[in-house]
Chain A
Amino acid sequence: NAGVTQTPKFRILKIGQSMTLQCTQDMNHNYMYWYRQDPGMGLKLIYYSVGAGITDKGEVPNGYNVSRSTTEDFPLRLELAAPSQTSVYFCASTEGKGATFFGQGTRLTVV
């Protein structure tokens, strides 16, 4: 059982480039989340989804987009990368109340 899998683990982007952070879970969870974590800080919610076809903005959605075409996958798209988006990105999933499972993170640097 793989849990939550994120790819890539590391990425360096130039300012203005775009990329997609992949997230997939094999636990059939309806709820999926994207968080970013800046150094020494807590997690801030970017976007979340309560099921396939449904997405909602979190606390810091600007500069990002998501889609949820399947239960398993919840990719995060960065358009026109900026240095302020340098962070560690975590994808998570849960069935609702109960443990939320996190991926290992994607460390993104925008230069």
Chain B
Amino acid sequence: GESVGLHLPTLSVQEGDNSIINCAYSNSASDYFIWYKQESGKGPQFIIDIRSNMDKRQGQRVTVLLNKTVKHLSLQIAATQPGDSAVYFCAEILRNTPLVFGKGTRLSVIA
């Protein structure tokens, strides 16, 4: 079965609100995690990454939190905009082995 999964398949948020997308992973040895955004008809696009020796990393309007105790990863998007509507995937890497992707969460932004 998949070692990376997502709690919610769809998420609807009001424009301007914050979004939180969650991801669970099962391989405690994974040492690197990435969040991707995939818009309709396009390939996945890198958003932000985090190494296993960190518990938080911030980018522009996005924050990734890593809780190794419960093997949980989250992506927070501040002031969600219509352009944030997409499917979001988390992925894990163990020592340069290929990315393992979860099924994804579809984020819909309500104007």
Contact = CB atoms under 8 A, between A and B. Distances in A.
Interface of A: 4, 31, 33, 35, 41-45, 48, 50, 58, 90, 92, 96-105
Nearest to B102: A42
B98 A102 contact: no
A33 B43 contact: no
A90 B44 contact: yes
Interface residues of B, number: 22
B28 to A, nearest CB: 18
Contact of A58 (B34, B43, B98): B98
20 contacts: A33-B98, A42-B2, A42-B102, A42-B104, A43-B44, A43-B89, A43-B99, A43-B101, A44-B101, A45-B98, A50-B96, A97-B32, A98-B49, A99-B34, A100-B34, A100-B46, A100-B91, A100-B99, A101-B46, A105-B43
Interface string B83-110: 0000001010100101111111000000
Given A42-B103, A97-B32, A98-B49, A31 B96 contact: yes
Give the one of B43, B44, B46, B104 with max A CB within 10 A.
Answer: B43
B42 interface: yes
A48 B98 contact: yes
Contacts of A42: 2, 89, 101-104
Given A42-B89, A42-B104, A43-B89, A102 B99 contact: no
B18 interface: no
Nearest to A47: B98
A29 to B, nearest CB: 12
B16 to A, nearest CB: 28
A97 B103 contact: no
A33 B46 contact: no
B106 to A, nearest CB: 9
Nearest to A33: B98
B101 A102 contact: no
A35 B99 CA distance: 10
A69 B37 CA distance: 31
